[in-house]
Amino acid sequence: MSGYSFAILTCDLGTAARRGRITTPHGTVETPAFMPVGTAATVKAMTPEEVERLGFEMILGNTYHLALRPGEEVIGGLGGLHRFMGWSRSILTDSGGFQVLSLADRRQITDDGVVFRSHLDGARLVMTPERSMAIQRALGSDIAMAFDDCPALPSERDRLAAAVERTTSWARRCRDHVAADGPALFGIVQGGDDRALRERSARAIAAIGFDGHAIGGVSVGESAARSREVVRFTAPLLPEGQARYLMGMGTPGDLVAMIGLGIDLFDCVLPTRNARNGSLFTSTGRLQIKRAEFKDDAKPVDEACTCEVCRRYSRAYLRHLFLAGEILGLRLNTLHNLHHYGTLLARARLAIEEGRYAAFRDQHLDPAEAPADEVAGPRSE
């Protein structure tokens, strides 16, 4: 793709953490980076201006959902996804492969592609590697993801092996179909929690020749500890000089741990979805704002936080808004959680630059911070 590049600026000596920079036609993305999820052309409860002010330089959109509503023809005809949603920075689009898992009861999968029955109205949607590439081109993505077969965990080894073969075949078709002036294209490694299959997938995907690579098929039903173990043995298999993207994971502790393994790019619905459920991330752990103990609590959500919510509003007020079902409460909760993620990643980048990432990781890592059922779940908002 014209205008795309990835450069490693420095590496931490005590870990595999890398400080890098992705360049796209819509600007630079300082890595390690977190992408807020904007499945339906919106980061829920936030304006694009607010997301950018929080320091985020790339967001994620979803091919399947946008193809259904409002349709790629509508978005393309209005100038592409950037103009359609008023976001001027970079956009990465998921290929629709995750819906092979999340909509398993509404799809039929073959070696050619997947036939979905829309979760909106039951309409038939055929998604093939070629169709996924065409949709992402119409959306004007900066980075497109190859269409993949994402199985749940646990799954039988035969299912995992079939997904590896299908993902490899589809990846080649995506590579053949993407235009020279189209988006950058990332391949996806599958293989579940099977080391041999992960190695087979990583070798096959790397040989095709992508602009970057992603670890898929994690946080899809397995425990948080197992997810991290899968990433631990998969990350070193990815090409060292290209961007490494961990799809759909995870908590702040996940991010800190996975950066130390050499991951450059993340997305997850947790900061925004948890915010809408009244679960707020703080420097001392998660806080459930609806709890009765906060009814008359004048303190901010996090006394160590510098976001505008913590500077201005009390726990008591946020609890009132949440229990009253006020939209403002969901917005303020989301702003705080995204600020927490953005600040954490900025501090991680600085720690890598200063060669002290191991100490930073050990200070922030809490393997028990989130139950497995919150880590493993749908990626789409």
Query: What values do phi and psi take at 156, rounded to 5?
Result: -65, 150
pTM, 2 dp: 0.95
**One-letter amino acid of 323:** L
- Predicted local confidence at residue 373, as pLDDT: 34
In a domain, 68, yes or no: yes
Exactly one of 12, 142, 211, 267 is catalytic; which is it? 267
Classify strands 124-127 and 114-117 as parallel, antiparallel or unpaired.
antiparallel
Residue 10 lies in a domain: no
Which two structure tokens, joined as six digits, stand for 265?
Answer: 């790019």
89: Cβ contacts below 8 Å, ≥ 6 apart:
26, 27, 29, 52, 56, 57, 58, 59
Residue 100: strand, helix, or coil:
helix
- CA atoms in the 13 A half-sphere facing the CB of 244: 26
- 210 lies in some domain: yes
pLDDT at 1: 54
Q: What value, to the nearest 5°, has the Cα angle with vertex 208 and ends 203 and 214?
A: 65
- pLDDT for 365 equals 79
Residue 7 lies in a domain: no
Alpha helices (H) in the chain, listed in sequence order = 48-53, 63-68, 72-77, 81-85, 98-102, 129-139, 157-177, 195-208, 224-234, 252-259, 270-276, 308-312, 315-323, 327-353, 357-364, 372-375
Is 296 a known active-site residue?
A: no
CA pair distance 92, 86, nearest whole angstrom: 15
**What is the pLDDT at residue 366?**
62
- Annotated catalytic residue, options 12, 94, 142, 302: 94
Within-domain flag for 326: yes
Q: Which domain holds residue 129?
A: 28-381
Per the structure, the count of domains in the chain is 1
Residue 20 in any domain: the answer is: no
Residue 16 forms part of a structural domain: no
Q: Is the peptide bond before 271 cis (omega within 30 degrees of 0)?
A: no
Query: Which is nearest to 209 in space by CA: 246, 175, 247?
Result: 175
Phi and psi at residue 187, to the nearest 5°: -90, 160
The number of helix segments (H) and strand segments (E) in the chain equals: 16, 16
pLDDT at 152: 96
In a domain, 1, yes or no: no
CATH number at 198 reads 3.20.20.105
Residue 341 tokens, joined: 């993620």
Q: Within the chain, which residues score under 70 in pLDDT?
A: 1, 366-379
264 is catalytic: no
